[in-house]
Structure 1
């Protein structure tokens, strides 16, 4: 529960440090005094949007700190522990928010800096705030459904339905995308099938084009290769006239004779000897090469045909001939993927059908729980309406099942009301007056709050449009909740304020230069005077004091 609220330089608050007790705390004050300012500050501390206008004029920053005892809030303890924001055996959670005059915002949980978004995640585990305009929200179907779900306490069913919907919706989107691409895939498939078949028939291997090109060059020049090689062999080794081998041997012999006079020639003689051996080996290999060369017109024609086809296919696919093999592999892979996409499409259709079946199972279970809760809530609100001085009032939660899956289930909701005898049940916005709507809204908030595990409930002037005996009943309803849950209620009604276990008074002071709002906890005697003021206005008489004493719940 909320144990302390510290506010510094927020709007017209100079400084405020208040302790909040268990039970029901009522907050009262004159009109315009700023009774709701503490609620606004708490909302800011819990992650609501920050604005520079919130910073008190002539101040550098606004600082708000809220301390909660979380000893009996296991959901909050688990959340804080998961975020590594709570030490072992720690029972307090301190949330701090700082807004500078320049618009910068900083947030802290137990002294650790955190993003403001994290505050929004924690806030619902600590506080439930019912604002002044809750009755307006009540006219919105999505809010009506939220209230029914809160009353039914079936979070697990709602979570299962939402998860099932998300799974179905994701598969459905994937299938739709595949089907939208189907026409383009069919045209592409036909082209690819023709191209790949043509390339399959040609069946070029990696590096084959270079081999074909090289072999074609060789066979195309086979005559020149043999003729010129024969001429070279003749000059080298086999010639009736003098050959290169003869000349080398002649030089070697001459230098050998001369080496008798100068041994320095021996190294040259050795090199010539080795050259002679190399020349002889070369001549033998050249002879073998000549013997192996035979013109092959038939193979040359085959090579020419394959080379021509390769060049034509390369031009057709706009790639270099050397890249034809890789192009073939790429197109074959794309064709395979399209075939797989078609198979995937069929598989997805099956999965979508199964996911929708799973969704409807979850949605039907949720719908069944909602219908049971709707009957109970209808009877409870009808009883509350009659208790709140709508003697013949009737209330009905009407549910209709829709045929299209939705994130929140398969139910459409409508709150029907009959406020007067003989009046048929109709949509609430058509028949309920402002005061009646406020009472119905308050009854719903009280009933749904009683089902909530949130330890602190805040009602910010939700009793607008209520007075007299009805106000007393409202106060008693809130006090009853306060016996098990911390209730903070901003009110202008003495009947409601008198039901609080404790009471705060908000006042506004103006020194001619600045305006300041203060909040103080009232003693028993001070509460009587404040209730007398609410009953009789600025003039407090002995009668209003006596009425206030009688009104105050001990």
Structure 2
């Protein structure tokens, strides 16, 4: 449930903070006062498309913040927050979004920086915003499948995820097959190139770690004189007269003499003796190293030529020798495939057919689930339309099997409707009027609110094109939705305003040559006057006021009967 909304520098709103409660809240006011701006701000807060054009003139940024109470039954939202590492232990969700003039967006959920995509995913599980745009979508046949799938989401979610994974594998197998067979000449040219590369790498006779070993050998040869000088100096320091070995030997003998007098110096003598023998071994190894040290110009040339060859291969086939070896193994596999193309094509064809069969089987599962859901939806839509004075309406979900598999399956879904007795049902997009579309969408929203776990629903002028008893029916229907879900509703109908539990009146004011939106919660006499204005227009007559009071009394009676 939405509890708090704070808006700064959004369109003509300089600063606005609103508190919302459970039940049905209506927002009314004159055209252009900023009612829809508040809904636009909510849409941006829950991940809608951002733009610097929303920023109030003269400001550098806009900021939005919304506080939501997390419903206990919204398991998908809890799973999403947990997977994203967002703490919600206090049962609250705070969404924040800042849009800068540069176009930069900063989004946070419970203080954690998130992407716009994640903000949108979280927002979709907290708020369901219905606008006139959805009326337009309802007129598009391709939108109907997604509506049916939303209705069947509980039984369809896992099967459709499995289908999408299988469909992706099927399309990948198709791409591999087409890539392999699209042009025999290209394949022949590639085979020639791969064979040349294979021969070149084979001739190089590469070994893992060879480059490092050769580099070490090169460094040794290049620095021959330095190595010879250092080893000779070390040898002379140990064996010269006098030298380190001579002094250490003399120290060893003196300590042996001291140890013969007292055991106190035995350990010290043994340590010096150990050092003496280690130095003797070192002298031997240095002498051997000097004897083996030999400068060979031919060897240096061979090493430099080999390193140049390896460098050239790395420029062609990989950053390291191991990369070249791995590339060599990969092209051998591809060469084998190309040399045995008929066999490879056969395997790829089998792979395509295998995934196509699995896709077909899983698409049929989706179709079966959708047909069952369609019958339930038809029945529930009929019940809802009856309550909206469309008791003669016929609503049908028609299926068309597409020739090719799509990411959503093989079904095309079109809603059909007949609003006049004796007339056959036709596509909704061809026959429905504005008022009928409003009632159809309200019926869908009423049904979906029971299935999706979303506890905050926003209606932005869903009552377009209706009046009289239909307007009253829509008001009662919106109120019925609010019993199980928080509802925020922008409306021009006095019947809807009368049914509301909470009423916000929105006005536009000019201060210091700047336009600003002001929101005031009204009750009692103020509410009566506003509903009277909605009935009569600019001047609230005594009769209009009396009519408004009767509407409120009637609304209270309806609510009491439904408790």
Same fold (TM over 0.5): yes
Q: 1: distance between equivalents of 2:329 and 2:464?
A: 76
1:219-256 C-alpha deviation (Å, 9 max, x unpaired): xxxxxxxxxxxxxxxxxxxxxxxxxxxxxxxxxxxxxx
Measure the CA separation in 2 of the matches of 1:545 and 1:330.
84
1:171 matched residue in structure 2:
173
1:542 CA displacement? 3.2
The CA distance in 1 between the partners of 2:499 and 2:159, in whole Å, is 37
Instruction: Deviation per CA, 1:190-233: give whole Å up to 9, x if none.
Output: 9999x99xx9xxxx9989xxxxxxxxxxxxxxxxxxxxxxxxxx
2:96–2:109 CA contact under 8 A, matched in 1: yes
Shift, 1:49, TM fit: 2.4
How far apart, in 1, do the equivalents of 2:330 and 2:486 lie? 69
- The 1:335–1:369 alpha-carbon spacing in structure 2 relative to 1, beyond 3 Å, is closer
Q: Distance in 1 between matches of 2:481 and 2:550?
A: 22
Q: Which structure 2 residues correspond to residues 145-294 of structure 1 after superposition, within 5 A? A: 145-153=145-153, 154-182=156-184, 184-185=186-187
> Where does residue 116 of structure 2 map in the other structure?
116
How far residue 332 of structure 1 moved from its aligned partner, in angstroms, is: 7.6
Tell me the equivalent position of 2:137: 137
Change (3 A) 1:332 1:354: closer
**Counterpart of 1:402 in 2: which secondary structure?**
strand
Aligned-pair distance for 1:13?
0.8
CA shift for structure 1 position 455: 1.9
Q: What is aligned with 2:442?
A: 442
Instruction: Confirm or deny: 8 A CA contact 1:55 1:62 kept in the other structure.
Output: yes
* Aligned position for 1:83: 84
In structure 2, do the counterparts of structure 1 residues 343 and 511 end up closer, same or farther at CA, with 3 Å as the change threshold? same
Number of equivalences? 428
Match of 2:380 in 1: 380
Structure 2: any 5+ residue segments left out of the alignment? 207-324, 557-563
Question: TM (normalized to structure 1)?
Answer: 0.71
Structure 2 match to 1:13: 13
Q: Answer whether contact 1:147 1:448 (CA < 8 A) is retained.
A: no
3-state SS of 2:125 partner: helix
Q: How does 1:533-552 map to 2 (within 5 A)?
A: 533-552=533-552
Kept in 1: contact 2:2–2:66 (CA 8 A): yes
Which has the larger displacement, 103-112 or 138-147? 103-112
Shift of 1:357: 1.7
- Corresponding residue for residue 526 of structure 2: 526
Distance 1:334 1:445, change over 3 A: closer
**Residue-by-residue CA offset, 1:102-154 (whole Å, 9 max, x unaligned):** 43322222222333232122211111111122221102122111111111232
Q: Partners in 2 of 1:392 and 1:489 — Cα distance?
A: 28
Structure 1: how far apart are the matches of 2:332 and 2:27? 77
Q: Deviations over 1:252-299 (max 9, x none)?
A: xxxxxxxxxxxxxxxxxxxxxxxxxxxxxxxxxxxxxxxxxxxxxxxx
Aligned residue for 1:485?
A: 485
Counterpart position of 1:462: 462
Asked if structure 1 preserves the Cα contact closer than 8 Å seen for 2:435 and 2:463, the reply is: no
Please give the residue correspondences for 1:377-416 in structure 2 after superposition, counting only pairs within 5 Å: 377-416=377-416
Q: How far off its partner does 1:331 sit?
A: 9.8
CA offsets per residue over residues 286-315 of structure 1, 9 Å max, x none?
xxxxxxxxxxxxxxxxxxxxxxxxxxxxxx
**1:361 to partner: Cα distance:** 1.8
Deviations 1:146-180 (A, max 9, x none): 11111123222222222221121111111111121
Structure 1: where are the runs of 5+ without partners?
208-325
Distance across 2 between alignment mates of 1:188 and 1:542 = 90
2:24·2:486 contact (CA, 8 Å) conserved in 1? Answer: yes
* Whole-angstrom CA distance in 1 between matches of 2:332 and 2:191: 11
Contact 1:133 1:462 in 2 (8 A): no
Query: What is the CA distance between 1:181 and its match in structure 2?
Result: 4.4
Displacement of 1:330 in angstroms is 12
Tell me, yes or no, if the aligned pair for 2:449 and 2:485 is still in contact at 8 Å: no
